[in-house]
Chain A
Amino acid sequence: MTKSTSTELATETVLERESRNATKAMLTEFWYYFSQNKGAVIGLVVFAVLVAVALLAPLVAPHDPDVQYRDALLQPPFWQDGGSFAFPLGTDAVGRDILSRLIFGSRFSLFIGVVVVTIALVGGIVIGLVAGYARGWVDTLIMRVMDIILAFPSLLLALVLVAILGPGLVNAMIAIAIVLQPHFVRLTRAAVLAEVNRDYVVAARVAGAGHLRLMFKTILPNCLAPLIVQATLSFSNAILDAAALGFLGMGAQPPTPEWGTMLAEAREFILRAWWVVTFPGLAILITVLAINLVGDGLRDALDPKLKRS
C-alpha cells in the first residue's frame, strides 16, 4: 500500500518535471531566436531601464517636476556655460528641472502605451475573432466599419475624437485606442481565417467544444504571435500619437510633464534654448526606437516563417 503510493508520488513528480521542462524548452527556444537579434536585446534593455525609471521616479528624480525655480529660468545643461549640476539637463522657461520632468513624463508615456494597447488589443481580438469565426454578414459588417475607420488619417481621426470628447489625457488615450483598433481586428481576423479550418479545430469540435471554447481556447492561442508583435509596435505608435496630441494641445494639459506637452510649451524657445525641445524629443525618439526594436525581435522569435531550422 505504502509502496504503491510512493511510486505514484514518484511518477507524479516525474510528470510534473517533464511538464515544466516542456514549458521551459518553449521559453528557451523563444529566447534563442529573440537574442539572435542584437538590436532587440538592446531595445529590451533600454525599455527595462525606462520601466525601472518610471516606477522609481520619485526616488530617481532630483527635483519635484512641478516646482518652479524662479532664479534659474532657462538654465542650460551642465556642460554649457551657465549650467550647473543642480539642473543636469537645464530648466525650462518657468524654471522647472527638465530631467525631473522627463523622468516623471516616462510614467505618462508608459501608462499611455499600456492603456491604449490593452484597450485596442482586447477590443480588436474580440471583434476580430467574432468576424473571422462567424463569417457571413457579421464579418462583412465589421470589416466595412473597420475599413471606414482605417480610411481616415489616424491623427486626424484622433483629433476629431478628442474634440468631441474634450481635451485631456484619458480622452486622448481612448481616441488613440479607437484609431489603433482596426489593425488588431484585421490581424486577428486573418489569423483566425487561417486557423479555423485546420484539423485540430475540427477535432476539438468533434470532441464537443462549444463556440466560445473554440474561439478563445483553441484558436486564439495560435493567433497570438502576430498580435504580440503588432501590440509592441502599437505601443510606440500610441506614445507618438499621444505626444502629437499633447503637442497640439489636445492631449495632456499643462503642467502635466508629458513629453509631447513639454515640446509644445517649449516651442517659442527653440531658437534661444535648444535644450528645452531637444531632450523631450530625444526621450520620445529613444523610447519609440527601443520598443520598435523589441517588436522586430519578437517578430523574429514568433513568426515561424522567419525561423531558420
Chain B
Amino acid sequence: MSDTILKVRDLYRTYDIKGGLFKKPGKFTAVKGVSFDVERGSTLAIVGESGCGKSTLARMLTMIDAQTSGSIEIDGLPIDIAKTGISKDMRQKVQIVFQNPYGSLNPRQKIGHVLEEPLLLNTSMPAAERRDLALEMLTKVGLQPEHYGRYPHMFSGGQRQRIAIARAIMMKPKLLVLDEPVSALDLSVQAQILNLLKDLQDEMGLTYIFISHDLSVVRYLADKVMVMYFGEVVEYGTRDEVFGDPKHEYTRTLFAATPNADVDSIKARLAKKVA
C-alpha cells in the first residue's frame, strides 16, 4: 500500500559555465541522475557535504529552477516548468522553508502580509478570511496573534523560522521542502523548531524533504535517508538501514566525521590531548 507522493526519476541538472579570456566554456552537472520515491506523510532526509547538489535538488523540487532532464511527479502531477510553466495547482502542492531566517522574510513587509501573500496570489479569498487564516496559523506555529502587524526585525531567529514555516504551510501544501531549516539556530531553538515540524506533520499529514548536514537532526526526524556525494545518490534506505549499516565509503566517512558529544568521548579526547 505504498502511497507515493513524490516520484523523481533520473533527474539531471547541468549548469553552463561561461568561458572567460583564458577559459573554455564548460558544463557543470550539479545533480546526476537522481531517482527516489517519497511516501505520503513520511520524511526523507537528504544528507551530504556542501556543494553536493542538495540545494539544487531542492530548487528543482520547488520549481524555482527547471531540471535539465528527467522527471518529477508530485502527487500525480508531472512537473517540468521549462516546458509547461507553473500553474496555481502546482504551487499549492509544494512549498519551501529556507535555511537563513534572517534573509527569507521581506524586511519591509509586516508578518500578516507575509502570511497572506500566498493566499492573495493563488486564491480569490476575501481579505477578512485571509486574515483569520493568518491569525490561526500564527497560533498554530506557536506565535501570538499580536505579532500579525509587526515587522520581521522585531523577531528572534527562532520566531522568524516559525513565521517562515507558517508562510510555507499557508497554502496547505502536500509536500514541504526544508532546506537546512534549523542549521542557523542555536541548539535549544533547534529542538523547538524540530518539535514544531513533527507536530505539524502529524496534524496536517505533511510530507517532508529534509535537507541537512546535521546527522543528529536527521536521526531524530527522518524515516528514510538519502546520502548525496558529488551530485549522485550513494546511499538510499530507511534511517535504521543507513545509520546501522552504511554501505558506501562516503557515508561511513560522514558518520565518522560527526563529533561525538557524549561525556566519555569528550573525556577521552581531552586525555589524548594531555598525553
Which of A19, A20, A25, A222 has a CB less than 8 Å from the CB of B106? A222
Distance, CA A206 to CA B103, complexed state (A): 15
B150 touching A209, Cβ below 8 Å: no
Which of A202, A208, A218 has a CB less than 8 Å from the CB of B64? A202
Contact with A along B61-76 (1 / 0, CB 8 A): 0111000000000000
Q: Which of A23, A205, A208, A209 has the most chain B CB within a 10 Å cutoff? A: A208
What's the interface size class on A, roughly?
A: 20 to 34
A207 touching B148, Cβ below 8 Å: no
Chain A residue with Cβ nearest B113: A217
Distance, CA A11 to CA B118, complexed state (A): 24
A198 touching B103, Cβ below 8 Å: yes
Contact with B along A190-208 (1 / 0, CB 8 A): 0000000011101111111
A208 touching B149, Cβ below 8 Å: no
Residue B258 at the A interface, CB < 8 A? no
CB within 8 Å of B: which A206-241 residues: 206-209, 213, 218, 221-222
Distance, CA A200 to CA B95, complexed state (A): 13
Residue B267 at the A interface, CB < 8 A? no
A-chain residues with CB within 8 Å of residue B64 when the two chains form the complex? 202, 205-206
A-chain residues with CB within 8 Å of residue B112 when the two chains form the complex? 19
Residue B167 at the A interface, CB < 8 A? yes
Which of B86, B122, B148, B171 has a CB less than 8 Å from the CB of A18? B148
A32, chain B: closest CB distance, angstroms: 15
B151 touching A22, Cβ below 8 Å: yes
A199 touching B104, Cβ below 8 Å: yes
A208 touching B88, Cβ below 8 Å: yes
B-chain residues with CB within 8 Å of residue A60 when the two chains form the complex? none
Residue B142 at the A interface, CB < 8 A? no
A-chain residues with CB within 8 Å of residue B121 when the two chains form the complex? 207-209, 213
Chain A residue with Cβ nearest B106: A200
B150 touching A18, Cβ below 8 Å: yes
B104 touching A209, Cβ below 8 Å: no
Residue B105 at the A interface, CB < 8 A? yes
A215, chain B: closest CB distance, angstroms: 13
Chain A residue with Cβ nearest B112: A19
A-chain residues with CB within 8 Å of residue B107 when the two chains form the complex? 200, 222
From known contacts A206-B62, A209-B121, infer whether A15 and B108 are also in contact, taking CB-CB under 8 Å: no
Residue B100 at the A interface, CB < 8 A? yes
A22 touching B88, Cβ below 8 Å: no
Which of A18, A21, A206, A222 has a CB less than 8 Å from the CB of B108? A222
From known contacts A200-B104, A203-B104, A206-B64, infer whether A22 and B150 are also in contact, taking CB-CB under 8 Å: yes
A209 touching B96, Cβ below 8 Å: no
B-chain residues with CB within 8 Å of residue A209 when the two chains form the complex? 117, 121
A14 touching B146, Cβ below 8 Å: yes
A22 touching B149, Cβ below 8 Å: yes
B-chain residues with CB within 8 Å of residue A200 when the two chains form the complex? 103-107
B-chain residues with CB within 8 Å of residue A21 when the two chains form the complex? 149
CB within 8 Å of A: which B40-64 residues: 62-64
Distance, CA A91 to CA B107, complexed state (A): 55
Distance, CA A203 to CA B107, complexed state (A): 13
Residue B78 at the A interface, CB < 8 A? no
Which of B86, B95, B103, B149 has a CB less than 8 Å from the CB of A199? B103
Distance, CA A221 to CA B95, complexed state (A): 24
Chain B residue with Cβ nearest A14: B146
Chain B residue with Cβ nearest A11: B145
B129, chain A: closest CB distance, angstroms: 14
Chain A residue with Cβ nearest B171: A207
Distance, CA A148 to CA B149, complexed state (A): 46
Distance, CA A115 to CA B240, complexed state (A): 70
A-chain residues with CB within 8 Å of residue B171 when the two chains form the complex? 207
Residue A282 at the B interface, CB < 8 A? no
A-chain residues with CB within 8 Å of residue B108 when the two chains form the complex? 221-222
From known contacts A19-B110, A22-B150, A222-B108, infer whether A199 and B100 are also in contact, taking CB-CB under 8 Å: yes
Which of A11, A20, A206 has a CB less than 8 Å from the CB of B95? A206
A-chain residues with CB within 8 Å of residue B105 when the two chains form the complex? 200, 203
B-chain residues with CB within 8 Å of residue A49 when the two chains form the complex? none
Residue B248 at the A interface, CB < 8 A? no
Residue B252 at the A interface, CB < 8 A? no
A26 touching B151, Cβ below 8 Å: yes
A-chain residues with CB within 8 Å of residue B110 when the two chains form the complex? 19, 22
Chain B residue with Cβ nearest A26: B151
Distance, CA A14 to CA B135, complexed state (A): 13
From known contacts A200-B104, A200-B106, infer whether A206 and B96 are also in contact, taking CB-CB under 8 Å: yes
Distance, CA A205 to CA B88, complexed state (A): 12
Residue A16 at the B interface, CB < 8 A? yes
B21, chain A: closest CB distance, angstroms: 18
Distance, CA A250 to CA B201, complexed state (A): 72
A sample of 10 more A-B contacts (CB under 8 A), given A19-B150, A208-B86, A222-B107, is: A23-B149, A26-B151, A199-B99, A199-B104, A200-B103, A202-B98, A206-B63, A206-B91, A207-B95, A209-B121
Can you name 6 A-B residue pairings with CB atoms under 8 Å? Answer: A15-B135, A15-B148, A18-B149, A26-B151, A200-B103, A209-B117
The 6 A-B pairs of least Cβ separation, nearest first, read A19-B149, A199-B104, A221-B108, A208-B121, A207-B118, A199-B103
